[in-house]
Amino acid sequence: MKKFIHIDMDCFYAAVEMRDNPALANVPLAIGGNSRRGVLSTANYIARQYGVRSAMSNYHAKQLCPDLVIVPGRMQVYKEVSAQIRCIFARYSELIEPLSLDEAYLDVSDSKACHGSATLIAEQIRADIFATTGLTASAGIAPIKFVAKIASDENKPNGQFVVLPEQLQQFLAELPLGKIPGVGKVTLEKLHLKGLYTGADVCAKGVNWMQQHIGNLGVSLYQKCAGLHIGQVATQRVRKSLSVEHTYEYNKTSLAACLEQLPCLLAELSRRLEKQKLAHHINKLSVKVKFANFVITSADQSSFQLDKTIFQQLMTKAYERGGNQPVRLLGLGVGIKYQANDHIQLSILD
Protein backbone atom coordinates (compact mmCIF):
# COMPACT_ATOMS: atom_id res chain seq x y z
CA MET A 1 0.00 0.00 0.00
CA LYS A 2 1.40 3.38 -1.03
CA LYS A 3 1.73 6.30 1.41
CA PHE A 4 1.59 9.77 -0.13
CA ILE A 5 1.91 13.12 1.62
CA HIS A 6 1.00 16.42 0.00
CA ILE A 7 2.49 19.44 1.77
CA ASP A 8 1.03 22.87 1.01
CA MET A 9 2.37 26.02 2.64
CA ASP A 10 -0.26 28.38 4.04
CA CYS A 11 -0.57 31.59 1.92
CA PHE A 12 3.17 31.22 1.34
CA TYR A 13 4.24 34.57 -0.17
CA ALA A 14 2.01 36.54 2.19
CA ALA A 15 3.18 34.47 5.17
CA VAL A 16 6.82 35.30 4.38
CA GLU A 17 5.98 39.00 4.22
CA MET A 18 4.08 38.85 7.53
CA ARG A 19 6.99 37.00 9.14
CA ASP A 20 9.53 39.56 7.95
CA ASN A 21 7.37 42.61 8.72
CA PRO A 22 5.25 42.11 11.86
CA ALA A 23 3.30 45.30 11.05
CA LEU A 24 1.62 43.29 8.27
CA ALA A 25 0.65 40.37 10.49
CA ASN A 26 -2.86 41.52 11.37
CA VAL A 27 -3.97 43.42 8.28
CA PRO A 28 -5.55 42.21 5.03
CA LEU A 29 -2.51 41.61 2.83
CA ALA A 30 -1.89 40.60 -0.76
CA ILE A 31 1.14 40.21 -2.99
CA GLY A 32 1.03 41.83 -6.41
CA GLY A 33 2.10 44.62 -8.74
CA ASN A 34 1.57 48.26 -7.91
CA SER A 35 -0.43 49.26 -10.97
CA ARG A 36 -4.22 49.46 -11.09
CA ARG A 37 -4.17 46.53 -13.53
CA GLY A 38 -1.77 44.47 -11.46
CA VAL A 39 -2.77 40.92 -10.59
CA LEU A 40 -2.48 39.36 -7.14
CA SER A 41 -0.37 36.23 -6.70
CA THR A 42 -1.73 35.41 -3.24
CA ALA A 43 -3.51 36.89 -0.23
CA ASN A 44 -3.46 36.19 3.49
CA TYR A 45 -6.45 34.66 5.27
CA ILE A 46 -7.71 37.99 6.58
CA ALA A 47 -7.98 39.29 3.01
CA ARG A 48 -9.61 36.08 1.84
CA GLN A 49 -12.48 36.69 4.26
CA TYR A 50 -13.38 39.65 2.03
CA GLY A 51 -13.31 37.47 -1.08
CA VAL A 52 -9.82 38.49 -2.20
CA ARG A 53 -8.16 35.71 -4.18
CA SER A 54 -5.06 35.01 -6.25
CA ALA A 55 -5.22 36.00 -9.94
CA MET A 56 -7.63 38.84 -9.03
CA SER A 57 -6.88 42.35 -10.28
CA ASN A 58 -5.69 44.95 -7.77
CA TYR A 59 -8.69 47.11 -8.69
CA HIS A 60 -11.24 44.37 -8.00
CA ALA A 61 -9.49 43.36 -4.78
CA LYS A 62 -9.54 46.96 -3.52
CA GLN A 63 -13.25 47.17 -4.25
CA LEU A 64 -13.85 44.10 -2.10
CA CYS A 65 -11.45 45.21 0.64
CA PRO A 66 -10.64 48.95 0.65
CA ASP A 67 -8.11 48.50 3.49
CA LEU A 68 -6.16 45.83 1.56
CA VAL A 69 -2.39 46.30 1.72
CA ILE A 70 -0.68 45.23 -1.51
CA VAL A 71 3.09 44.72 -1.45
CA PRO A 72 5.39 43.70 -4.30
CA GLY A 73 6.68 40.14 -4.28
CA ARG A 74 10.27 39.22 -3.39
CA MET A 75 10.77 36.13 -5.49
CA GLN A 76 14.38 35.57 -4.52
CA VAL A 77 13.41 35.42 -0.83
CA TYR A 78 10.58 32.99 -1.58
CA LYS A 79 12.98 30.77 -3.53
CA GLU A 80 15.43 30.75 -0.61
CA VAL A 81 12.70 29.75 1.85
CA SER A 82 11.46 27.10 -0.58
CA ALA A 83 14.98 25.64 -0.74
CA GLN A 84 15.01 25.38 3.07
CA ILE A 85 11.71 23.51 2.95
CA ARG A 86 13.00 21.16 0.26
CA CYS A 87 15.93 20.27 2.50
CA ILE A 88 13.47 19.30 5.23
CA PHE A 89 11.56 17.05 2.81
CA ALA A 90 14.80 15.28 1.94
CA ARG A 91 15.21 14.14 5.56
CA TYR A 92 12.17 11.92 5.17
CA SER A 93 12.12 10.74 1.55
CA GLU A 94 14.11 10.78 -1.67
CA LEU A 95 10.87 10.68 -3.67
CA ILE A 96 9.83 14.34 -3.82
CA GLU A 97 7.78 16.03 -6.53
CA PRO A 98 7.64 19.82 -6.19
CA LEU A 99 4.57 21.37 -7.82
CA SER A 100 5.61 24.96 -7.12
CA LEU A 101 7.67 26.86 -4.57
CA ASP A 102 5.06 26.23 -1.88
CA GLU A 103 3.78 22.69 -2.39
CA ALA A 104 5.07 19.19 -3.09
CA TYR A 105 4.22 15.50 -3.04
CA LEU A 106 6.27 13.00 -1.05
CA ASP A 107 6.15 9.23 -1.36
CA VAL A 108 7.00 7.91 2.11
CA SER A 109 5.95 4.31 1.47
CA ASP A 110 9.41 3.00 2.32
CA SER A 111 10.46 5.65 4.82
CA LYS A 112 11.64 4.38 8.20
CA ALA A 113 11.15 7.74 9.88
CA CYS A 114 8.57 8.00 12.65
CA HIS A 115 8.21 4.20 12.69
CA GLY A 116 7.00 4.31 9.09
CA SER A 117 3.85 6.27 9.98
CA ALA A 118 2.94 8.72 7.20
CA THR A 119 0.72 10.63 9.61
CA LEU A 120 3.57 11.14 12.08
CA ILE A 121 6.00 12.01 9.26
CA ALA A 122 3.64 14.73 8.04
CA GLU A 123 3.33 16.11 11.58
CA GLN A 124 7.10 16.13 11.99
CA ILE A 125 7.69 17.80 8.60
CA ARG A 126 5.25 20.57 9.51
CA ALA A 127 6.95 21.01 12.89
CA ASP A 128 10.38 21.14 11.22
CA ILE A 129 9.18 23.73 8.71
CA PHE A 130 7.86 25.95 11.49
CA ALA A 131 11.02 25.57 13.57
CA THR A 132 13.25 26.41 10.59
CA THR A 133 11.25 29.11 8.81
CA GLY A 134 8.58 30.30 11.24
CA LEU A 135 5.93 29.42 8.66
CA THR A 136 3.03 26.99 8.84
CA ALA A 137 2.10 24.26 6.38
CA SER A 138 -0.87 21.97 5.86
CA ALA A 139 -0.71 18.32 4.84
CA GLY A 140 -2.81 15.61 3.29
CA ILE A 141 -2.02 11.91 3.73
CA ALA A 142 -3.55 9.15 1.61
CA PRO A 143 -2.79 5.88 -0.20
CA ILE A 144 -3.61 7.60 -3.53
CA LYS A 145 -1.62 10.57 -4.77
CA PHE A 146 -4.37 12.96 -5.92
CA VAL A 147 -6.41 12.21 -2.78
CA ALA A 148 -3.48 13.44 -0.67
CA LYS A 149 -3.65 16.77 -2.51
CA ILE A 150 -7.37 17.08 -1.88
CA ALA A 151 -6.88 16.12 1.78
CA SER A 152 -4.26 18.85 2.36
CA ASP A 153 -6.96 21.47 1.79
CA GLU A 154 -9.40 19.98 4.32
CA ASN A 155 -7.91 21.42 7.51
CA LYS A 156 -6.18 24.58 6.31
CA PRO A 157 -4.45 26.52 7.67
CA ASN A 158 -1.85 24.74 9.78
CA GLY A 159 -3.58 21.37 9.90
CA GLN A 160 -3.59 17.98 8.26
CA PHE A 161 -6.11 15.41 7.13
CA VAL A 162 -5.65 11.65 6.79
CA VAL A 163 -7.56 9.33 4.48
CA LEU A 164 -6.88 5.81 5.76
CA PRO A 165 -7.00 2.85 3.34
CA GLU A 166 -10.22 1.59 4.90
CA GLN A 167 -11.79 5.06 4.46
CA LEU A 168 -10.78 5.48 0.83
CA GLN A 169 -13.81 3.94 -0.87
CA GLN A 170 -16.28 6.10 1.03
CA PHE A 171 -14.12 9.21 0.59
CA LEU A 172 -14.05 8.74 -3.19
CA ALA A 173 -17.76 7.94 -3.38
CA GLU A 174 -18.69 11.18 -1.59
CA LEU A 175 -16.03 13.28 -3.34
CA PRO A 176 -17.43 16.31 -5.24
CA LEU A 177 -15.97 16.15 -8.75
CA GLY A 178 -14.93 19.80 -8.59
CA LYS A 179 -12.31 18.91 -5.99
CA ILE A 180 -10.45 16.57 -8.33
CA PRO A 181 -7.29 18.26 -9.67
CA GLY A 182 -7.76 19.19 -13.31
CA VAL A 183 -11.55 19.51 -13.18
CA GLY A 184 -12.14 23.20 -13.78
CA LYS A 185 -15.30 25.29 -13.79
CA VAL A 186 -16.22 24.67 -17.44
CA THR A 187 -15.56 20.92 -17.23
CA LEU A 188 -17.55 20.71 -14.00
CA GLU A 189 -20.56 22.38 -15.64
CA LYS A 190 -20.44 19.83 -18.46
CA LEU A 191 -20.29 16.95 -15.96
CA HIS A 192 -23.25 18.37 -14.06
CA LEU A 193 -25.26 18.48 -17.29
CA LYS A 194 -24.62 14.72 -17.53
CA GLY A 195 -25.90 14.22 -13.99
CA LEU A 196 -22.41 13.69 -12.55
CA TYR A 197 -21.72 15.35 -9.20
CA THR A 198 -19.76 12.88 -7.05
CA GLY A 199 -17.39 9.96 -7.38
CA ALA A 200 -20.30 7.60 -6.77
CA ASP A 201 -22.12 9.08 -9.80
CA VAL A 202 -19.12 8.39 -12.01
CA CYS A 203 -18.67 4.81 -10.78
CA ALA A 204 -22.39 4.11 -11.26
CA LYS A 205 -22.12 5.02 -14.96
CA GLY A 206 -19.16 2.69 -15.57
CA VAL A 207 -16.03 3.20 -17.63
CA ASN A 208 -17.64 2.44 -21.01
CA TRP A 209 -20.40 5.03 -20.52
CA MET A 210 -17.85 7.59 -19.30
CA GLN A 211 -15.67 7.07 -22.36
CA GLN A 212 -18.62 7.24 -24.75
CA HIS A 213 -20.15 10.39 -23.27
CA ILE A 214 -17.15 12.24 -21.78
CA GLY A 215 -14.19 10.92 -23.79
CA ASN A 216 -10.67 10.34 -22.47
CA LEU A 217 -11.35 12.64 -19.52
CA GLY A 218 -14.24 10.34 -18.60
CA VAL A 219 -11.94 7.32 -18.48
CA SER A 220 -9.46 9.23 -16.29
CA LEU A 221 -12.24 10.35 -13.95
CA TYR A 222 -13.59 6.82 -13.67
CA GLN A 223 -10.14 5.45 -12.80
CA LYS A 224 -9.71 8.10 -10.10
CA CYS A 225 -13.18 7.74 -8.60
CA ALA A 226 -12.91 3.95 -8.60
CA GLY A 227 -9.57 4.09 -6.77
CA LEU A 228 -7.67 2.62 -9.72
CA HIS A 229 -5.40 5.61 -10.30
CA ILE A 230 -2.76 5.30 -7.58
CA GLY A 231 -0.27 7.71 -9.11
CA GLN A 232 3.46 8.04 -8.56
CA VAL A 233 5.79 10.80 -7.47
CA ALA A 234 7.76 12.22 -10.41
CA THR A 235 11.15 13.38 -9.17
CA GLN A 236 11.94 15.06 -12.51
CA ARG A 237 9.51 17.61 -13.92
CA VAL A 238 9.78 18.41 -17.62
CA ARG A 239 8.78 21.85 -18.84
CA LYS A 240 6.44 21.66 -21.85
CA SER A 241 5.98 25.39 -22.45
CA LEU A 242 7.28 28.80 -21.45
CA SER A 243 5.55 32.14 -21.76
CA VAL A 244 5.61 35.80 -20.77
CA GLU A 245 2.67 38.18 -20.54
CA HIS A 246 1.90 41.70 -19.44
CA THR A 247 -1.30 43.35 -18.20
CA TYR A 248 -1.37 47.00 -19.21
CA GLU A 249 -2.51 49.80 -16.95
CA TYR A 250 -4.27 51.37 -19.91
CA ASN A 251 -5.95 49.37 -22.67
CA LYS A 252 -4.35 49.08 -26.11
CA THR A 253 -6.97 50.39 -28.52
CA SER A 254 -5.52 49.35 -31.88
CA LEU A 255 -3.61 46.56 -33.55
CA ALA A 256 -0.68 48.92 -34.09
CA ALA A 257 -0.54 49.67 -30.36
CA CYS A 258 -0.45 45.93 -29.65
CA LEU A 259 2.27 45.27 -32.19
CA GLU A 260 4.38 48.03 -30.59
CA GLN A 261 4.60 45.84 -27.46
CA LEU A 262 5.98 42.88 -29.38
CA PRO A 263 9.73 43.73 -29.18
CA CYS A 264 9.62 44.12 -25.39
CA LEU A 265 7.70 40.86 -24.89
CA LEU A 266 9.94 39.02 -27.33
CA ALA A 267 13.10 40.22 -25.59
CA GLU A 268 11.79 39.01 -22.23
CA LEU A 269 10.81 35.64 -23.68
CA SER A 270 14.24 35.28 -25.29
CA ARG A 271 15.99 36.04 -21.98
CA ARG A 272 13.95 33.39 -20.16
CA LEU A 273 14.66 30.79 -22.85
CA GLU A 274 18.39 31.47 -22.72
CA LYS A 275 18.42 31.39 -18.91
CA GLN A 276 16.81 27.95 -18.87
CA LYS A 277 18.78 26.75 -21.93
CA LEU A 278 15.60 25.96 -23.85
CA ALA A 279 16.14 28.02 -27.01
CA HIS A 280 17.01 24.89 -29.02
CA HIS A 281 13.92 22.97 -27.90
CA ILE A 282 11.23 25.22 -29.39
CA ASN A 283 8.55 23.53 -31.50
CA LYS A 284 5.69 26.06 -31.42
CA LEU A 285 5.05 29.80 -31.09
CA SER A 286 1.88 31.23 -29.57
CA VAL A 287 0.23 34.56 -28.80
CA LYS A 288 -2.36 35.26 -26.11
CA VAL A 289 -4.72 38.24 -26.11
CA LYS A 290 -7.11 39.22 -23.31
CA PHE A 291 -9.61 41.89 -24.30
CA ALA A 292 -11.17 44.55 -22.08
CA ASN A 293 -14.31 42.42 -21.77
CA PHE A 294 -12.06 39.65 -20.33
CA VAL A 295 -12.53 37.37 -23.34
CA ILE A 296 -9.27 35.50 -24.00
CA THR A 297 -8.11 34.16 -27.34
CA SER A 298 -4.86 32.65 -28.60
CA ALA A 299 -3.18 31.70 -31.85
CA ASP A 300 -0.23 29.40 -32.47
CA GLN A 301 1.94 28.00 -35.25
CA SER A 302 4.68 25.40 -35.52
CA SER A 303 8.19 26.84 -35.50
CA PHE A 304 11.60 25.74 -34.25
CA GLN A 305 12.91 29.20 -33.37
CA LEU A 306 11.73 32.61 -32.26
CA ASP A 307 10.43 34.51 -35.27
CA LYS A 308 9.20 38.09 -34.96
CA THR A 309 7.30 37.89 -38.24
CA ILE A 310 5.33 34.83 -37.11
CA PHE A 311 4.52 36.49 -33.79
CA GLN A 312 3.26 39.56 -35.69
CA GLN A 313 1.01 37.37 -37.83
CA LEU A 314 -0.31 35.48 -34.80
CA MET A 315 -0.96 38.68 -32.85
CA THR A 316 -2.83 40.14 -35.83
CA LYS A 317 -4.92 36.98 -36.14
CA ALA A 318 -5.77 36.91 -32.44
CA TYR A 319 -6.51 40.65 -32.28
CA GLU A 320 -8.91 40.55 -35.22
CA ARG A 321 -11.05 37.96 -33.44
CA GLY A 322 -11.95 40.59 -30.86
CA GLY A 323 -13.79 42.85 -33.29
CA ASN A 324 -11.68 45.90 -32.36
CA GLN A 325 -12.24 45.40 -28.62
CA PRO A 326 -9.57 47.18 -26.50
CA VAL A 327 -6.82 44.88 -25.20
CA ARG A 328 -5.79 44.64 -21.54
CA LEU A 329 -3.20 41.82 -21.73
CA LEU A 330 -0.75 40.44 -24.29
CA GLY A 331 1.39 37.33 -24.01
CA LEU A 332 3.93 35.39 -26.05
CA GLY A 333 4.79 31.75 -25.55
CA VAL A 334 6.62 28.77 -26.96
CA GLY A 335 6.04 25.04 -26.90
CA ILE A 336 8.97 22.93 -25.69
CA LYS A 337 9.86 19.51 -27.10
CA TYR A 338 12.84 17.37 -26.10
CA GLN A 339 14.62 14.80 -28.20
CA ALA A 340 14.68 11.19 -27.01
CA ASN A 341 18.39 11.40 -26.15
CA ASP A 342 18.16 14.65 -24.18
CA HIS A 343 19.19 14.42 -20.52
CA ILE A 344 16.55 16.37 -18.62
CA GLN A 345 16.69 17.40 -14.99
CA LEU A 346 14.92 20.63 -14.18
CA SER A 347 14.74 22.05 -10.70
CA ILE A 348 11.56 23.66 -9.43
CA LEU A 349 13.74 26.73 -8.82
CA ASP A 350 14.73 26.98 -12.50
CA atoms within 13 A on the CB side of 83: 9
Q: Cα 82 to chain center, whole Å?
A: 16
Helix (H) / strand (E) element for 31: namely: strand 29-32
Give CA–CA dist 168/2, Å, rounded: 12
**Partners of 331 in the beta sheet?**
245, 288
Give CA–CA dist 335/129, Å, rounded: 36
Those residues with Cβ within 8 angstroms of residue 246's Cβ, 6 or more apart along the chain or in another chain = 261, 264, 265, 329, 330, 331
CA angle 156, 161, 164 (to 5 degrees): 165
Given its phi and psi angles, is residue 206 left (phi above 0), alpha (psi -120 to 50 degrees) or beta? left
Helix (H) / strand (E) element for 60: namely: helix 58-64
103 noted as active-site residue: yes
Signed CA dihedral, 186, 225, 173, 110: sign only? negative
Candidate list 80, 94, 103, 249, residue with the active-site label: 103
Positions marked catalytic = 103
